[in-house]
Structure 1
Amino acid sequence: MKNIIIVRHAKSSWEFNLTDHERPLNDRGFRDADLVSKHLITDRLRPDLILSSDANRAKTTASIFIKNLNFESIKTKLVHDLYDFTGGNLLEVIKNCDDSVHNLMIFGHNHAITGFVNTYGDIFVNNVPTCGVVIIECDVSKWKNLVKGKTTKTLFPKHLKKK
């Protein structure tokens, strides 16, 4: 059994004249990452490996989750191929994971994230929002044999905010 915890980076800022890769989180992004990650504490998640796009907004989102979930001891890698918007690289990164990894956490970008969860999960999500989390359980023993699985959780910032 393989589990994928996939997180779209939190809301980024367009305030500064930076390349897309360097864009930071905005205030809402920091608040949402804090809110969502703290809510996940009750799920008792324990990834074996954390992979993040090396884009500033993704790695900052990952660092907030890692700190709040006390994942500092978990192996974490920045992977440039996760700076992917179409999904081809995302899928390749997942399929090339070591099979000793059973619980994989990934921080990345749309449209790759939404495409992935709709292809490999069993619940259609029109758009995974910024800082959205989707957990998918796949009944395979090898990542290279990844097949459609069961979506076991969707958690979006709007689910946690009072109206």
Structure 2
Amino acid sequence: MKHLILIRHAKSDWGYDRPDHDRPLNARGRGAATAIGAWLHDNGHLPDEVLCSTSARTRETLTLLGTHAPTRLERALYHAAPDTMLQLLQSAQGNNVMLLAHNPGIAALAKALVRTAPDHPRFDAYPTCATLVAHFGIDTWKDLQPGTGTAHAFVVPRDLTDRPTP
């Protein structure tokens, strides 16, 4: 059995005159990443391996999640297509793998991997810091195929706060 934690980076800051790859998180994003990290810890969803895009916002999100698992920073995950993400996952070695990347690829990958989408109104949009926890009845990530996962949990930062919905 393999477990996947699939996270889109937290909300980034557009107020800097930097290339897209170098944009940091904004205050809301930092709060969201911290909240998702607490949720992961509280629910026992702890990775033993992390695959993370090299962008500033994904690396900052990872830091705020509070995980200390061995991490592979992968430039190929920066705005990657779902097929690229799948190939990188198929090279993973851990039992509980976290993949941290960008939309639209991460949303498409989430939809492709699970047999049945979680019953959540924001799953299709996969907003910033959205997190899917899925289980796969495989012995090795090399055997990972679309449509074989079971969605165990799906959460967005707004689920974890008392902020009103606009």
Does the TM-score normalized on the shorter chain lie above 0.5?
yes
Distance 1:92 1:154 in 2: 23
Task: Work out the number of aligned pairs and report it.
Answer: 156
Deviation at 1:28, TM superposition (A): 0.7
Structure-to-structure mapping, 1:1-163, within 5 angstroms? 1-66=1-66, 71-72=67-68, 74-98=69-93, 101-121=94-114, 122-123=116-117, 125-147=123-145, 148-162=148-162, 163=164
Distance 1:155 1:93 in 2: 23
Deviation at 1:160, TM superposition (A): 1.3
Distance 1:141 1:24 in 2: 37
Say if 1:78 and 1:21 are closer, same or farther in 2 by CA, change over 3 A.
Answer: same
Q: Percent identity?
A: 28
Deviation at 1:36, TM superposition (A): 1.7
8 A Cα contact 1:35 1:157, kept in partner: yes
**CA deviation string 1:97-149 (max 9, x = no partner):** 23xx1110111101111111101112162111101110111111121221321
Alpha-carbon RMSD across the aligned residues, in angstroms, is: 1.3
Deviation at 1:85, TM superposition (A): 3.7
8 A Cα contact 1:4 1:103, kept in partner: yes
Show structure 1 runs of 5+ residues with no match. Answer: none
Distance 1:113 1:53 in 2: 11
Secondary structure of the residue aligned to 2:4 is strand
8 A Cα contact 2:40 2:46, kept in partner: no
